[in-house]
Amino acid sequence: MIHKISGTVIQGNRIGRTLRFPTANIALDDDIPVRDGVYAAEVRTEGKIWPAMVNIGTRPTVTDNGKRFAEAHLFGFDGDLYGRTITIFLLQYIRGERRFTGLDALNEQLQLDKQNILNLFNK
């Protein structure tokens, strides 16, 4: 398994901002052999490392186009990474990607993911 993914941050559909979990998104080819799902991760950009939660997959709750992305929500980061290069280090698999009934249900899960992953970092 690849533990490290680099790419240029592309514009998402900005739902992340309404979810209050803004993400830095990079496109991923289908053949990158990483299991889809949510990971505890660290993200390096501009010489700094941020703890993060990362989703790898096609986001079945919000899109049907099958396009695969790595989406990183950086804890404590408040800014726009659009156009920047980021490197994602996947540290631990947390759960599979799922189709939620709507954005409220997805948002609740993201809050749980955040708590779980922050607990891991604080161990």
Ligand X SMILES: Cc1cc2nc3c(=O)[nH]c(=O)nc-3n(C[C@H](O)[C@H](O)[C@H](O)COP(=O)(O)O)c2cc1C
Question: Distance (Å, rounded) from C-alpha 111 to C-alpha 6?
Answer: 26
Which of positions 68-107 make contact with ligand X (CB under 6 A)? 71, 73, 97-100, 106
User: CB-based burial of residue 78 (10 Å sphere; 0-12 exposed, 13-18 middle, 19+ buried)?
Assistant: exposed
**Tokens at 91, concatenated:** 């540290």
Amino acid present at 110: L
Which of positions 34-53 make contact with ligand X (CB under 6 A)? 38, 53
- Which stretch, 2-10, 27-35, 54-62, 80-88, contacts ligand X (CB under 6 A)? 54-62
Question: Distance (Å, rounded) from C-alpha 89 to C-alpha 108?
Answer: 25
The residue within the footprint of ligand X, chosen from 15, 42, 50, 116 (CB under 6 A), is 15
Q: Is 21 in the site for ligand X (CB under 6 A)?
A: yes
List residues near ligand X by CB under 6 A: 12-16, 19, 21, 23, 25, 38, 53, 55, 59-62, 71, 73, 97-100, 106, 110, 113
